[in-house]
Structure 1
Amino acid sequence: MPDDRPLPRDRKARIAVLDDYMGVAHRMADWSRLEDRAELTFLTDPLPAGGVAEALAPYDAICLLRERTPIPGDVLRALPDLKAIAMTGRRNRTLDDETARDLGITVMTTEGSGNGIYATVELAWGHIIALMRCIPEENVAMHKGAWQTRLGSALYGRTLGLVGLGKLGSRMAGVAQAFGMNVIAWSPNLTTERASEGGAEYADKATLFAEADVISLHLVLGPSTRGIVGAEDLGRMKSDAILVNTSRGPLVDQNALLEALRTRSIRGAGIDVYDREPLPADHPIRDMDNALLTPHLGYATQETFRAFYGDCVDNLDGWLDGAPKRVLEG
């Protein structure tokens, strides 16, 4: 493995902060700590597909917001002047960190997401309540002068079906119990005992999709879970059931979901994650009035961003001093 690429000696280091879509990164941490040794650029627009290497060529270091712009091995090999990557989170599936280390690029991580660790759970419940009580539609109607146009449904006594019962899924189960809901769960490796420990009753996949009034996904995306929810599963859902995905877009067959929404074979869907992000402006799901859409807000809270960017500044500060912190080991 080659030695780490050295810092520039004849100028300040150039650092780019990627994917700052909301233009908030500059006030989430004290970036002034770096300004005597570095020039900072905050990139608020997505990098062009196929032009990532060209866009990043001027920079010595980049700060990545986890799982937004993909940085695969071919991009890294096209960046001979890139010396350091400060990524948010402990792992980033869209960064080829092994190739980065092989090239002598220092990769630094953060401790996590602070108090925002359960922010995705809170957003999932926001989707659930909004869909069950028709809040988006009633809000629009009120602004147009109308009064009580739709009849929603209560959560009490309903059944929540969790696809995935890890840390976040178990948190979902606890909230559901507070609402007086029944909770069932399934995942490829879930057992009856583990389901009980997580606050749910185990159900096989077919039963879960057939019986749940609300289905919420909480799985890690991988080769075995990509497309794990398909047309057959959606076809088993009740006509007044809803599907919520705040986990990863490719867990669900997107064409099958679009068809279920178009034909209204299900009541609706709450979606925060997509196969392609940012979601193209002409994507057909934007035209579905029974889809509640948010732009991958799961972990995007002030608490999470302050934790992420605070650690990134600390890491880059150390790197500029020749002593990088939280270096990702192989």
Structure 2
Amino acid sequence: MPLRRIAVLDDFGAAARGSADWSGLPITFFPDHVADEAVLAERLAGFDAVVLIRERTPFPASLIARLPELRLVVTTGAKNRLLDLAACEARGIAACGTPSLDTPTVEMTWALILSLARRVPFEDAALRAGRWQTGPGRSLQGATLGVIGLGKLGRQVAALGRAFGMEVIAWSSNLTEEAAAAAGARRVEKAALLATSDVVTLHLVLGERSRNTLGAAELVAMRPGALLVNTARAGLVDQAALLAALELGHLGGAAIDVHDIEPMPPDHPLLRAPRTILTPHLGYVTAENYRLYFQGAVAALRAFDVGQPLPHPLTPQPRAA
């Protein structure tokens, strides 16, 4: 049976609508975010397909149980840790991903490192307010870059650090000296990385072991004046401890693209923190990536409609009735 009603959630800025040809599909685009599960379940009542944009909206078993007509979930990207695939499979709901790019998050990491080091947003704001050269930035050549998490993204970040003439050191709980050397970095213990890095950037997967990788003790142990960049997950850093480290002046600055509440409410305390660059989770948000996401979503929806195998399946596909 063809899909009757398809919801695209969290379409901030109406980006999905213009990134693919949705013609002929019974699509409803929702540009806002709904955090309350009961309200979201009411919104999605009667929809038999949902398109999730990455992990903007959690899709746990409790929500899936409230949606008896749901038959298909498409999540942009290759995986979604907030989508309960076991619950989908138990209900016979098909789930699939889409193609995506890795490089946008690496680019965003370096946009933030460079902006923080060279004080770009602060000097831009000062210039518009009538002030000229309010303070010097810092050079990256000869500085030490500490990469926490040397996976696919961390290795690419490290390569660009070397291109800027930085010494690259790295740590994660499972990182070996050989793997670090293959990525052009030197493995050190976490304490040494924090004590000696001029710039620390996070690229770990968030889990129970990695949550609060940087807590109050670790932030205090960072080199005085060091810069912190997080384009991975907010939960890797203790948010209260980060605020304290910034307010006390121990950190030279922080550039944060991922937040504990998204979208960030206007009264969030981090908005008042000094020496910060805050961006609204832009790591993967590029026109090129969106085209891959939503053209992939459309391909999955059209395949499902005609009973063809789903591209990038995440669950066993239900048999046709």
TM-score, normalized by length of structure 1? 0.92
Match of 1:13, SS state, is coil
Corresponding position of 1:328: 314
Does the aligned pair in 2 maintain the 1:16–1:41 contact within 8 Å? Answer: yes
Distance 1:70 1:174 in 2: 33
| 1:42 is aligned to 2:29 | yes
Distance 2:97 2:224 in 1: 44
Distance 1:44 1:253 in 2: 30
Map Cα deviations across residues 91-127 of structure 1 (whole Å, 9 max, x no partner). Answer: 11010011012111111221x31xx311111111111
Map Cα deviations across residues 1-24 of structure 1 (whole Å, 9 max, x no partner). Answer: xxxxxx36xxx6111111101211
Distance 2:148 2:102 in 1: 19
Q: 1:82-231 alignment to 2 at 5 Å?
A: 82-110=70-98, 112-113=99-100, 116-231=101-216
Structure 2: gaps (5+ residues): 317-321
User: Which of 47, 53, 58 is residue 65 of structure 1 equivalent to?
Assistant: 53
Match of 1:26, SS state, is coil
Match of 1:257, SS state, is helix
Distance 2:271 2:96 in 1: 37
Does the aligned pair in 1 maintain the 2:96–2:315 contact within 8 Å? Answer: no
Does the aligned pair in 2 maintain the 1:316–1:324 contact within 8 Å? Answer: no
Report the alpha carbon displacement of residue 324 of structure 1 after superposing the two structures with TM.
4.3
Corresponding position of 2:5: 14
Map Cα deviations across residues 295-319 of structure 1 (whole Å, 9 max, x no partner). Answer: 0000111111100111110000011
Does the aligned pair in 1 maintain the 2:94–2:315 contact within 8 Å? Answer: no
Distance 2:27 2:284 in 1: 24
Match of 2:212, SS state, is coil
User: Which of 220, 223, 231 is residue 246 of structure 1 equivalent to?
Assistant: 231
Q: Number of residues paired by the alignment?
A: 314
Moved over 4 A (4+): none
Kindly provide the amino acid, as one letter, of the partner of residue 165 in structure 2. G
Does the aligned pair in 2 maintain the 1:127–1:244 contact within 8 Å? Answer: yes
Structure 1: gaps (5+ residues): 1-6
Map Cα deviations across residues 199-258 of structure 1 (whole Å, 9 max, x no partner). Answer: 101110000000000000000111111111111111111221111000011011111101
Distance 2:218 2:90 in 1: 42
> How high is the sequence identity, in percent, across the aligned residues?
46
